Amino acid sequence: MDRYLLSELLPPFLFGVGAFSSIGVTIDAVFDLIRKIVESGLPVGIAIQVFLLKMPYFIVLAFPMSTLLATLMTYSRLSSDSELIALRGCGVSVYRMVLPAIVLSLLVTGMTFVFNEQITPTANYQANQTLQSAIKSDKPVLKQQNIFYPEYRDIQEADGSKTKQLARLFYADQFDGKRMKGLTIIDRSTAGLNQVVVAESAQWNGSQSVWDFYNGTIYLVAPNGSYRNILRFEQQQLKLPRTPLSLVEKSRDYGEMNISESLEQLTVERLGGDRQKIRKLQVRIQQKIALPFVCLVFGLVGAAMGSVPQRTGRGTSFGVCVIVIFTYYLLFFISGAIGQAGVISPFLGAWLPNFIFLGIGLFLLMRVARR
């Protein structure tokens, strides 16, 4: 029985992966690439390369939808042909009949997790880098606000213990892809001398490994807080670490990071203190974990809905599938937005649709089992 049910589930699942991923990539990527070929002179070879790199993202999106389509169509067909009634007549329970669908859903959940962690973020990043290099856009690639980088040093105490003290604090209002702007640096790294640097802008000078500061003032302050000197400058080179720029360069779009990279980015964002960005990233991290489990939820919902005794065709099953997918993703975006707004926790903002549809699937399954 299990082999028969799996053989019935696999063809519509593979069809769904091909159909949904093709529709998604055509709407989202192909039209945009054609426009860039015509308007920006993007080489066709590069466009094909970008297209292939974007495919894993759409395949991942297609996995949950294909699971729902396969389970719904398969169990609806078995119900329409009275095969489920025959199985129940042989003493097979509804829970046992949907077990192959749950096993398939678990396998797809694992595949989705692997794609999301190991393939899709890297492919998305490479696709964007390839596209930007090919069209040679003059627009700044990176844009960041509120760049905050503290640097600490270990202090050996008289009793042998070690404590951490702030050695340097680097803050910039924004980074436009080339220059830091609106800078304030508190430098306590030199013994017996503290300095505060305020500058309009600064740029990393890679050839000399220093920062070039423009239109600013350096305030020199003694450790006891007494005044030392004030130096105004139009251009001044300061030997500070490149780390703040490295942190900005490491920043990627949410779709270009896996969970571990997102957690590293969250640590950086917490240093910056931008609560909105922190909350958004927390929700996205939870969504990265929750998304693979949609396959399991959809597998249960599809099998339960399809097991309801009724006569439906494939067209009806496909229509129901589209409505369920639309409802789920509408709820997914709404709960995510509420989570980002701080009304509910990031965890609940990401997982709420899964919990609701899991409850619906279990309710339908128990209802069918009681008949």
Share of the chain above pLDDT 70, in %: 91
Q: Which residue has the tokens 């995510």?
A: 336
- Rounded percentage of the chain residues whose pLDDT exceeds 90: 3
Q: What is d(CA 309, CA 89) in angstroms, rounded to the nearest whole number?
A: 14
d(CA 213, CA 136): 28
pLDDT of the residue at 214: 92
Structural element, H or E, at residue 334: helix 314-341
Q: CB within 8 A of 128, min separation 6: which ones?
A: 253, 256
Give me the mean pLDDT over the 238-250 stretch.
Answer: 74
CA 291 to CA 108: how far, in whole Å?
11
Written as one string, the DSSP assignment of 181-217 is EEEEEEEEEETTEEEEEEEEEEEEETTTTEEEEEEEE
The arithmetic mean of pLDDT across residues 70-92, rounded, is 79
Cα 192 from Cα 75, distance rounded (Å): 78
pLDDT tens, 37-63?
877 777 888 888 888 888 888 888 888
Binned at pLDDT 50, 70 and 90, residue 119 comes out as: confident
Rounded Cα–Cα distance for residues 249 and 260 (Å): 17
Cα separation, 359 vs 98, whole angstroms = 16
Q: Please provide the average confidence, as pLDDT, over all residues in the chain.
A: 81
Sheet holding 180-190, edge to edge: 144-156, 162-175, 180-190, 193-205, 210-221, 227-238
Q: What is the pLDDT of residue 251?
A: 63
H or E stretch covering 53: helix 44-80
> At residue 314, does pLDDT exceed 70?
no
Q: What is the pLDDT of residue 138?
A: 47
Q: pLDDT value at position 355?
A: 92
Question: Average pLDDT for residues 115-140, to the nearest whole number?
Answer: 76
pLDDT surpassing 80 at residue 195: yes
User: Within its chain, how far is the Cα of 30 from the centroid?
Assistant: 22
What's the mean pLDDT in 254-259?
A: 78
**Span 207-219, mean pLDDT?**
87
Mean pLDDT of 308-317: 68
Question: Residue 331, CB half-sphere, CA atoms under 13 Å: how many?
Answer: 15
Check residue 200 and give its pLDDT: 92
pLDDT, residue 271, reads 64
* The pLDDT of residue 339 is above 80: yes
Asked which of 3-7, 226-230, 311-315, 353-357 is least confident by mean pLDDT, the reply is 311-315
Buried b / exposed e across 120-157, counting CB within 10 Å, b at 16+? bbebbbebbeebeebbeeeeeeeebebbbbebeeeeee
Indicate the helix (H) or strand (E) that contains 10: helix 2-25
**pLDDT value at residue 274:** 67
Give the range among 130-144, 149-163, 218-232, 260-274 with minimum mean pLDDT: 130-144
Q: Which residue has the higher pLDDT, 197 or 77?
A: 197
pTM (2 decimals)?
0.69
Give the pLDDT of residue 80: 75
